Amino acid sequence: GAVVSQHPSWVICKSGTSVKIECRSLDFQATTMFWYRQFPKQSLMLMATSNEGSKATYEQGVEKDKFLINHASLTLSTLTVTSAHPEDSSFYICSASDSRVGGVQPQHFGDGTRLSIL
C-alpha cells in the first residue's frame, strides 16, 4: 500500500520551455503533497507543501512563479517548472501523506524526476 507514482522519470528539454511533473497517489487519498528538490549527493530540500484544494505554501527562497504547483484532487498534484533554465536542472521528488489520519503521518515518496535543461 501507499504507492506514489511520479511521471515522467526523466526529461530533457531546451532552455525556455516549461515542464510539468505529475505526482499521483495510487492507493490512498493524499490530502497533502510535498515537492522536494535534491542536488547531487545532497539531502532533500523542501520546496513547497500543497493541500488539496488550497494554494501551495512555498518555502523561503523558492519562487512561486517559477515553480507552479497545483493540487486539484486527492490523488494528483503537479509541479510545473516555467521557462526552465539550466540552473533548474535537478532531481525533483514528490511525496504524499493523508493528513486526515491525525498526528504526523509518514510521507510516501515517488521515484523522482530527473530534469535536465539544455
Partner 1 sequence: AQSVTQPDIHITVSEGASLELRCNYSYGATPYLFWYVQSPGQGLQLLLKYFSGDTLVQGIKGFEAEFKRSQSSFNLRKPSVHWSDAAEYFCAVGAITGGGNKLTFGTGTQLKVEL
- From 26, 15, 21, select the one nearest 91 (Cα to Cα): 21
In this chain, which of 67, 88, 112, 117 binds partner 1, going by CB under 8 A?
112
| Residue whose CB is less far from partner 1, 25 or 97 | 97
In this chain, which of 6, 77, 78, 90 binds partner 1, going by CB under 8 A?
6
Region of 101 (left: φ > 0; alpha: ψ -120 to 50; beta: rest) is alpha
Segment contacting partner 1 by CB under 8 A, of 13-21, 64-72, 73-81, 102-110: 102-110
Residue 17 binds to partner 1 (criterion: CB under 8 A): no
> Phi and psi at residue 24, in whole multiples of 5°?
-125, 135
**15-26 residues labelled b (16+ CB within 10 A) or e (exposed):** eeeebebbbbbe
**Residue 63: all three cell numbers together:** 519562487
In this chain, which of 44, 62, 68, 74 binds partner 1, going by CB under 8 A?
44
Binding residues vs partner 1 (CB under 8 A) = 4, 6, 31-32, 34, 41-44, 46, 49, 51, 57, 91, 93, 95, 97, 99, 103-112, 114
